[in-house]
Amino acid sequence: MEVTFKKLTEPTSQIASAYDRWENDTSLIPMVRPNPDQDALEKRYEVTTENLKQRLKNHEIFLIYMNDELVGEMNYMINPGHLHKKEQDTAWIGITIGEAAGRGKGIGFEAMMYLEDRIKEKGLDRVELGVFEFNEKAQKLYRNLGYKEIARIPDFTYWNGSKWADIRMEKFLGIKSNKED
């Protein structure tokens, strides 16, 4: 299995179609976006080349390929307003393995390592992310990569008949100083 990554610079209709499929996949919706209630969980959004171009204005986006097939995406933003700790030079990251064929193969680990390297190249030292309380696989991945829990925002998202917390995690990449302890 060959895994490669490519920076998204010009969205195509094929890429937008993949995003549209992932963002409307009922197994992924609870994992990738907060949903305050059942209605939000059931809402669908159309992804087009135009709204992907809009995302590129405040996200660095990288496509994830397995054996030359697009299976997911990862991205980061710098100093977004939703950071739990409002520290300058922080990257907020997101990752989606959109195709079921790409899950459970270690691609998420490889993708995170790649993304952290791109963030370091930008001179950023701190990474923050949010992971929903019920997403234990993702939590395990992030802990294995050295992310530490810094906060829980209760009743953040709705899934499977209950409200769940958003767990905020951080990692220092060690390029400026060792701030972990």
Q: What is the pLDDT of residues 108-160, one digit of tens each?
A: 999 999 999 999 999 999 999 999 999 999 999 999 999 999 999 999 999 99
Residue 179 belongs to some domain of the structure: no
Residue 43 maps to a domain: yes
Q: What is the pLDDT of residues 141-155, one digit of tens each?
A: 999 999 999 999 999
Report the domain count for the chain: 1
CATH code of the domain containing 83? 3.40.630.30
Does the residue 66 lie in any domain? yes
Domain that holds residue 15: 3-172
Residues contacting 15, CB < 8 A, separation 6+:
8, 49, 52, 63, 70
Question: Token match 């997911």: residue?
Answer: 72
- Any domain includes 135: yes
What are φ and ψ of residue 46, in 5° steps? -90, 130
24 assigned to some structural domain: yes
